[in-house]
Structure 1
Amino acid sequence: MTRTLTVYSRTGCHLCEQLLAQLAHLDLPDDVSLVTVDVDTDPALRARFDVDVPVVALDDEILCCHFLDETALRQALNDG
């Protein structure tokens, strides 16, 4: 079963760019699909995550906001 690692971000967000660059260097498991979602394309997402981007979620579980918490990410990936 494929798990989805979602990064909620927005255009022009330097923290989002940094976090995505960090994720690009990680060796994610084969069963994990990385998806980037621009919160500004959906009013509900913008309302939910506006000041918290970037937000990283594995499936429906939010793992971190603003900065990559690699420890939390690895733990969530290993628990799945």
Structure 2
Amino acid sequence: MNAQGLVLTVYLRRYCHLCHDLLAQLAPHGFQVIEVDIDLDPQLEARYGALIPVLTGADDEEICHYFLDEAALTAYLSKFR
């Protein structure tokens, strides 16, 4: 699965090992990933709290949280084929 040109966002906390794991799992796929630290924005912290990491796509559509859900990511990517 390669999505050249696709931009995904990961809402995370810098000290979160699950966040680091999710980023590492995304790396081989070749996505452009924007990392957003929720601790820098009180509204994002209130929105996501302990739900992180949260992987979102276009229009902030949630794909998965906590762990990379390959099936959910594949389903999301199928919208662009």
- TMscore range, shorter length: 0.7 to 0.9
Verify: 1:38 aligned to 2:37, yes or no. yes
Post-superposition shift, 1:23? 0.3
Aligned to 2:65: 65
Aligned to 1:47: 46
Aligned to 1:77: 77
Opposite residue 46 of structure 1, the aligned amino acid is E
Instruction: Indicate the SS of the match to 1:67.
Output: coil
Q: Which moved more, 1:70-79 or 1:50-59?
A: 70-79
Following the alignment from structure 2 to structure 1, what is the Cα–Cα distance between the partners of residues 61 and 44?
15
- The number of residues matched between the two structures is 75
Match of 1:6 among 5, 9, 14: 9
User: In proportion to residue count, which structure has more strand?
Assistant: 1
Q: Deviations over 1:41-61 (max 9, x none)?
A: 100000001110000001121
Q: Deviations over 1:18-68 (max 9, x none)?
A: 00000002244xxxx321100001000000011100000011210111011
Aligned-pair Cα RMSD in Å: 1.4
Identical-residue share of aligned pairs (%): 47
Aligned to 2:19: 16
Q: Which runs of 5+ in 2 are unaligned?
A: none
Q: Which runs of 5+ in 1 are unaligned?
A: none
User: In proportion to residue count, which structure has more helix?
Assistant: 2
